[in-house]
Amino acid sequence: NAGVTQTPKFRILKIGQSMTLQCTQDMNHNYMYWYRQDPGMGLKLIYYSVGAGITDKGEVPNGYNVSRSTTEDFPLRLELAAPSQTSVYFCASSSPPVSASTDTQYFGPGTRLTVL
Amino acid sequence: AQTVTQSQPEMSVQEAETVTLSCTYDTSENNYYLFWYKQPPSRQMILVIRQEAYKQQNATENRFSVNFQKAAKSFSLKISDSQLGDTAMYFCAFSHGSSNTGKLIFGQGTTLQVKP
């Protein structure tokens, strides 16, 4: 299993450009998440999904959009990039969190995005 | 809203010694989960240890153990026999037990340096 994969690893955008961060998991997990990590800070939830066709906002959703057409993929779309979106973006997935013994989020390696 | 606070931005410890990282959280719920994640320079997020709030017994994983004080809303991580590979940023995280979405709320992180 590859686990959670993210592409690209690095990207530089100009202000106002758009891009999609890709996330794929091969563990057949229903739950997927997008977090951002600003320098020296903890992760903050952008969007999450509890299954194909179902998405919901997290703590910091402004400026982003998501879709979940398949169980495996959960792309994050940035429209009109701004310098405030400079961050490291992490995708994660998990099985239904029925108990802490199974509630483990598996994280991708992250995408470092710089907006200039 | 739930919050997670890590009051130690940076800590250091000599190799083979013991170090304790602090974490406090705020919630009105009775059912929840707590986690410690490790983020080495590679940026990969690695689960270190988890604790179910309904369990009184403190979780342990090899050299890692927690001191869970539910009434005080405190969840500290003790690393025994510190190794150079423990050098990383450590995040405390909270997950609701009742919402069943698995969303994680992270603290700001503590950077730990293990010195030879």
The tens digit of pLDDT for each residue in B38-87 reads: 999 988 999 999 998 888 899 999 999 999 999 999 999 999 999 999 99
How near does any CA of chain B get to the CA of A14, in Å? Answer: 24
Does the N-terminal peptide bond of residue B41 adopt cis geometry, omega within 30 degrees of 0?
Answer: no
Any CB–CB contact under 8 A between B108 and chain A?
Answer: yes
- Residue length of chain B: 116
Q: How far is CA A101 from CA A1, A97, B49, B50, B89, in A?
A: 21, 9, 11, 8, 24
Distance CA B21, CA B56 (A): 20
- Band of pLDDT at residue B99, cut at 50, 70 and 90: low
Instruction: Reduce the DSSP state of residue B77 to 3 states and report it.
Output: strand
Residue among B1, B65, B58 at smallest CA distance from B29: B1
Any CB–CB contact under 8 A between B112 and chain A?
Answer: no
- Residue contact A42–B33, C-beta within 8 A: no
**Average pLDDT for residues A85-94, to the nearest whole number?**
95
**Average pLDDT for residues A66-85, to the nearest whole number?**
96
What pLDDT is stored for residue B98 in this prediction? 67
Pairing of strands B110-115, B10-14: parallel
Residue among A71, A88, A94, A87 at smallest CA distance from A24: A71
What pLDDT is stored for residue B31 in this prediction? 86
Higher per-residue pLDDT: B87 or A1: B87
User: By CA distance, what is B45's nearest residue in A?
Assistant: A107
How near does any CA of chain B get to the CA of A16, in Å? Answer: 27
On average, the pLDDT of chain B sits at: 93
Q: How far is CA B49 from CA A93, A101, B18, B66, B107, in A?
A: 17, 11, 17, 8, 15
- Residue contact B102–A100, C-beta within 8 A: no
Check: CB of residue A42 under 8 Å from CB of residue B91. yes
How near does any CA of chain A get to the CA of B92, in Å? Answer: 9
- Residue contact B43–A88, C-beta within 8 A: yes
DSSP characters over B27-51: -S-SSEEEEEEEE-TT---EEEEEE
User: By CA distance, what is B48's nearest residue in A?
Assistant: A104
- Residue contact B102–A45, C-beta within 8 A: no
H helices of B50-100, in order, are none
Check: CB of residue A13 under 8 Å from CB of residue A84. no
Check: CB of residue B15 under 8 Å from CB of residue B65. no
B108: nearest CB among A33, A35, A41? A41
Check: CB of residue B58 under 8 Å from CB of residue B75. no
What pLDDT is stored for residue A103 in this prediction? 59
- Residue contact B101–A43, C-beta within 8 A: no
How near does any CA of chain B get to the CA of A51, in Å? Answer: 11
Any CB–CB contact under 8 A between A45 and chain B?
Answer: yes
- Phi and psi of B97, rounded to 5°? -90, -25
Higher per-residue pLDDT: B24 or B95: B24
